[in-house]
Structure 1
Amino acid sequence: MHRVRTSLPYFKQFGWEAEIVAVQPLYTDIGTDDLLCTLVPKEVKIHYVRSLDKRITSKIGLGAVALRALPFYRAYVNKLLSCNKFDLIYFSTTQFPVCVLGPYWLNKFKVPYVIDMQDPWHSNYYQGKPRNEQPAKYWFSYRLNKFLEPVAMKAVSGLISVSEDYTDQLKNRYPNLQNVPAATITFGMYKDDVGVALENSFPSILDKGKINIVYAGRGGADMHTAITPVFSTLSKLLQLQPNKFKNVRLYFIGTSYAPANKGTASFKALARQYGIEQYVIEQTNRLSYYHTLNTLSNADALFIPGSDDSRYTASKIFPYLMVGKPILGLFHPKSSALKILKDAGINTAYDFDTISEDNITAFINGALNKTSQTIYVNADVLKEHSAEYKTGLQCQLFEQAIKYANNDLPIF
């Protein structure tokens, strides 16, 4: 919902009125952040649907909220579409199974739909990898995604994605998508977010007596390529000058999507291999959005590790830019995130092929010596990646999708 939340204040100025249909928070495992609602325009209608109780469905292995809420979405939105005139249905979520309702609503109510691919849905990335590197319930989720994705894609009228590779992959997989309007739109920066984060108090998870270099985001074995050179360099620095670097701490926060206190650490074992486990703090529990922003704002420096999958885009890199702290970024050479950071003026963003121990050492020294307390992001980049600008791009795609649907409505 992050993209939608930052777009809601601007939809109206581009000629669109939005209504939200979401699952009641009590049915999800994800922590809630009441502050997020304070910036939603008051005129926006928010509808909540129920879900099957996970305490019951988990006994048969069904945990995903999208699957548990699917019949309730169907029934509730049927009523909305029966009683009101809507021009478009916009699926903007990583709970992709709900998107299979798009073809059903198109057929029943003749309302076209757009899908926002914030992550890959069906992917072969983990095929053939060791089981300990695969996500939980991978055998089931892989087959379910392989079955459901083509159902949703058979009649979609528009695609938005955070990475052009995601769209290209879909068009290669499904010939019917060749002429479907598509746009690559990363998440936008909402100008008031940092202010809200700093105006409110949150429990501090950082050690104020240390030099804290922080990453907040998902974990995974696919990030080990980016993290290994940092761990290796810090290990050598501690061996050479232990007194100088003994106060450096690397934080990895919110690395698991699992319910609170049930996540598996992604990076602690790797830190142990390099003998620096006491200098690496990994918290699998996720923080609320504003708590995360507050934590990033109070760090000495920030670290953004990328995936070894070239298609992966760190779509949430913009909070890092917003807080104005020094950033060390390390990405696949083909990652779009690398270009975004460099265009923004971040000269400490590297790819896997060019990063050196000297680069990492210089960054850590800068954090120790506090020689670079803030960064100054290119103003044109800030405007180009603002939530307002990104909302305008979404609305352009909406218009294209409606025109496409009117000329090419499928017949079931």
Structure 2
Amino acid sequence: MVNRVLIISPHFPPINAPDHQRVRMSLPYLAQFGWEAHILTVRPDSVEGINDPLLEKTVPQEIPVTSTGALPIQQTRKFGLGSLGLRSFPYLLQAGNRLLQQQKFDLLYFSTTIFNSMALGPIWQRRFGIPYVLDFQDPWLSDYYEKPNAGRPPGGRLKYEFSQLQAKLLEPITLSSVSHVISVSPAYPQILQQRYPQLRPEQFTVLPFGAPEQDFASLPAIEVQQKIFNPHDGKRHWVYVGRGGDDMALALRALFLSIQCDRRQNPQVWESVRLHFIGTSYAPKELALKTVEPIAQELGIADLVSEHPERIPYFEALKVLTDSDAILLIGSNDSTYTASKLYPCILARKPILAIFHHQSSVIDILKQCQAGEYITFNSHSQPENLLTQVTTAVHKLLSLPNGYIPETNWSAFKPYTAKEMTRKQCQIFDQCLTSHGQSKSP
């Protein structure tokens, strides 16, 4: 028997956005585990983001996709409203109503950071009697930027406060009748259970994203080129691909301070090293601000560091990783932060240096898979406290020969592959149907 799931993912290929990664990685395997998917998304012309046709080709052709519109951002921005969640909500509601009336679905699955769309779950659950699952890839309601020294929230204080007001109104309603919550971070279930005591521990599962093995396997045939650096110029190129922000300043300062100190003693070594930071801003190209280069400037290594704040196409980002000599993983001082970019970095088969909060799952996975060097910090750490450890790790990177391939434990990595993650995801779906049937029975 095959069950049907309606997946709501407002960001979806060809839009290059990390929050559809779990959906995209699971689509080739869902049928193996007894599920058929139908995608409900927003048309690319209504979404701000990089349009990546190559990414769209990775979606199996047999998967039906319903795309809907949104209020034009050119009009809504005049009123200070750019949120895709608000712009697309009535359109997703209408399209979802039509789908659920015309077709039979057994489950609703929301996998997105466009949190407002999750509020459709209880609406459709009441109207159509279908259980729903929420996938939390980031916190929805959060007090992180209200803490001392948290820095400026992305998009500014006003935008942050407006989004948190929406979260305070919508999150309790959305979680009131949820069947199951999937989370990429073990911290989120703890936070949500404290906030909503009616939710039971068995309604939560911590499930990282699946590793995109198929994407790396197809990379040579695509023949995509990256434009960030020339891998044949005789330099050693260390790269970071992912978001920036004030919450990453501690890890960045620790890295740059160690380079500054070592460069004073070994200037010749650093003449051939270049550090590249790509995709550090979520904002459109014309609004993207640099957050990495100012710290490099402050610590006197600006000539070694280049920042490309706007996002680049997905496969070009993978090519950046495979063309590099080493990969940097920069962590947040928020202990709940889990980097979805970890698995592509491991699959790139390059030396890795990670600087992360000691409670992050990134550290556990790197340790299990023996995939790279890591330095940990806590909420009281200062860059100077990490100097010795980071310098030792940097020296190790510098000592590696060109073309070095880490001796990763691929057996330990297997549970993190897309197929295995999809298997666990479908087990959750099956449990939801069983629980829903029991709750409906007299």
Task: State the TM bucket, normalised to the shorter chain.
Answer: over 0.9
Paired residue for 1:318? 343
Shift of 1:45: 0.3
1:238–1:246 CA contact under 8 A, matched in 2: no
2:225–2:319 CA contact under 8 A, matched in 1: yes
Give structure 1 stretches of 5+ with no counterpart: none
Instruction: Indicate yes or no: 2:12 matched with 1:12.
Output: no
Paired residue for 1:363? 394
Paired residue for 1:86? 105
Paired residue for 1:286? 311
1:189 to 211, 216, 220: 211
Q: How does 1:1-400 map to 2 (within 5 A)?
A: 1-129=20-148, 133-136=152-155, 137-178=159-200, 181-199=203-221, 200-208=223-231, 209=233, 210-352=235-377, 355-357=386-388, 359-364=390-395, 366-367=397-398, 370=401, 373-400=404-431
Code of the aligned partner of 1:306: G
- The TM-score, its normalising length taken from structure 1, stands at 0.94
Q: Hey, what's the Cα distance between the residues in 2 that align with 1:130 and 1:185?
A: 30
Code of the aligned partner of 2:260: S
Q: Hey, what's the Cα distance between the residues in 1 that align with 2:372 and 2:27?
A: 33
Shift of 1:172: 0.9
Deviations 1:141-172 (A, max 9, x none): 12122222112111111110101111111111
SS of 2:285 mapped into structure 1: coil
Deviations 1:231-284 (A, max 9, x none): 001111222222221221111110111112311222222112201112111111
Q: Hey, what's the Cα distance between the residues in 2 that align with 1:364 and 1:289?
A: 31
Bigger mean CA deviation after superposition, 362-371 or 273-282: 362-371
Percent identity of the aligned residues?
37
Give structure 2 stretches of 5+ with no counterpart: 1-19, 379-384
Q: Hey, what's the Cα distance between the residues in 2 that align with 1:285 and 1:197?
A: 22
SS of 2:333 mapped into structure 1: coil
Bigger mean CA deviation after superposition, 370-379 or 118-127: 370-379
Deviations 1:182-214 (A, max 9, x none): 211101113221133333222421143321110
Code of the aligned partner of 1:102: G
Q: Hey, what's the Cα distance between the residues in 2 that align with 1:249 and 1:154?
A: 50
Q: Hey, what's the Cα distance between the residues in 2 that align with 1:359 and 1:258?
A: 30
Code of the aligned partner of 1:10: Y
2:280–2:308 CA contact under 8 A, matched in 1: yes
Q: Hey, what's the Cα distance between the residues in 2 that align with 1:171 and 1:78?
A: 30
1:157–1:402 CA contact under 8 A, matched in 2: no
Count, aligned residues: 409
Bigger mean CA deviation after superposition, 31-40 or 131-140: 131-140
Q: Hey, what's the Cα distance between the residues in 2 that align with 1:258 and 1:62?
A: 14
Q: Hey, what's the Cα distance between the residues in 1 that align with 2:205 and 2:147?
A: 31
Code of the aligned partner of 1:363: V
Q: Quick one: structure 1 residues 18 and 256, their matched pair in 2 at CA, closer, same or farther if it must change by over 3 Å?
A: same
2:240–2:278 CA contact under 8 A, matched in 1: yes
- The TM-score, its normalising length taken from structure 2, stands at 0.88
Q: Quick one: structure 1 residues 78 and 114, their matched pair in 2 at CA, closer, same or farther if it must change by over 3 Å?
A: same
